[in-house]
Amino acid sequence: MDRSFKTFLKHTAKDYYNQSVNPPVVRASTIIFKSMQDLRKTQNRNKKNPIGGHFDYGRQGTSTTHILEKMLTKMEESYHVFLTPTGFGSVFLSIFSIVRPGDEILVADPVYNPTRLLTEDFLKDFKIKVIFYDPHELETLKRKITKKTKLIFVENPGSNTFEFQDLSKIISIAKKNKIISAIDNTWGTPYFLKPMKLGFDMSIVSATKYYSGHSDVMGGSLAVNKKVFKHVQQATKITGLRLSPDDAYFILRGLRTLDVRLDKHQENAKKVAGFLSKNKKIKLLYPYKKDSKNFRMWKKYYSGASGLMGLKIKAKNKNSVIKFINSLKLFGYGYSWGGFESLALHQDLREQGNRKFLKLDKDEHLVRLHIGLEDPKDLISDLKRSLRHIK
């Protein structure tokens, strides 16, 4: 990328042919050709250059999805980016592409719960063994590796509990043992972290979140290096995972302001974190306190922090924590995050899945906040008023 990230987002993918700032939405199931010779030429071009956007059927994409692929490939500094209909579709594709019956996978304990269900439960029927590792004890990760280990799957930071891992150490372990590595980078996006530059083989982002930014689109991206490209390409053909051109258009449009929004999410989150850190009943799960291991691991790899954070609240009365959340006026209650609005959720332990290394005291409760683009003073006032309910 020869221009700054910010300038790239504003000036790439313009369509001078149609004289539009954003590329048009091209919808197609059948790709039509003037002759059979033209069709065969396109197929031959695709064989020679499989990332060149030479399509002979709509399932492969259209010019709209191809433009998004190219834009994200530059953002990720990867060989190619595959698009999926949901963020979790990219998680599935990364694993399905690499792992076969008899293989073993090492997975970070605090992964997104659907990722845990896929790896821990679903893959069992396919004779694939999954072993979870402690994100803060990477020496144990080394000891869990066997000759059957095919993939190390990382989510950073950890889902809901926000553990930041030593990513270079994980990559070093993976490369030394010739194991494929994948990371879910939805929290940071390539704006704050570029996993491919660090040495990961695959990088996943749920485009549903910050790429879209408006809570109205679902999609996912899977960036890959050349080593795993053919594996993922084959898996994409077999599964038929495809992002619609309409969703691709909205994601492209959202990406124009990714930097502006993430900068503001970060600014607001830091102000809210500063307020929450003074409350003795709250342990902040966010890279704010400079003396913490999480902060050091965040600072080592990231250029910034997004708006998603966790709270570990000390309260003898669980219902008072629920009351705290329910009394918030400026925070919506709902899943997902990454839109312009603030959200709050009580995280029931059952929603964390069968966590191996999560330690919570009896009177500790998890709450997740997404800090949106509202005036942070208003958000802090809302939290301050509602925190009085915690007992």
Note the pLDDT of residue 357.
85
| Residue range(s) of every CATH 3.40.640.10 domain in the chain | 5-255
Over residues 155-185, the pLDDT tens digits come to 999 999 999 999 999 999 999 999 999 999 9
| Residue range(s) of every CATH 3.90.1150.10 domain in the chain | 258-389
Note the pLDDT of residue 1.
65
Q: Are 85 and 218 in contact (CB under 8 A)?
A: yes
Note the pLDDT of residue 352.
72
Superfamily (CATH) of domain 258-389: Aspartate Aminotransferase, domain 1 (3.90.1150.10)
174-206 residues labelled b (16+ CB within 10 A) or e (exposed): beeeebbbbbbbbbbbbbbbbbbeeebbbbbbb
For 343, which DSSP code?
E
| Ramachandran bin of 300, using left for φ above 0, alpha for ψ from -120 to 50, beta for the remaining angles | alpha
Over residues 279-305, the pLDDT tens digits come to 999 999 999 888 888 999 999 999 999
What are the beta bridge partners of residue 285?
Answer: 310
Rounded CA-CA distance 74/173 in Å is 27
User: Torsions phi, psi of 89, nearest 5?
Assistant: -60, -35
**In this model, does residue 252 exceed pLDDT 80?**
yes
73-103 residues labelled b (16+ CB within 10 A) or e (exposed): bbbbebbbbbbbbbbbbbbbbbbbbbbeeeb
Query: What's the 3-state SS for 245-285?
Result: HHHHHHHHHHHCCHHHHHHHHHHHHHHHHHHHCCCCCEEEE
Rounded CA-CA distance 288/265 in Å is 14
The pLDDT of 16-26, averaged and rounded, is 84
Over residues 56-71, the pLDDT tens digits come to 999 999 999 999 999 9
CA angle 144, 147, 148 (to 5 degrees): 85
pLDDT bin (cut points 50, 70, 90) of residue 359 is confident
Q: Are 129 and 148 in contact (CB under 8 A)?
A: yes
* Assigned CATH topology for domain 5-255: Aspartate Aminotransferase; domain 2 (3.40.640)
Structure-block tokens of residue 234 = 């084959």
Rounded CA-CA distance 338/366 in Å is 19
User: pTM, whole model, 2 decimals?
Assistant: 0.94
Q: Are 309 and 320 in contact (CB under 8 A)?
A: no
Average pLDDT over the chain reads: 94
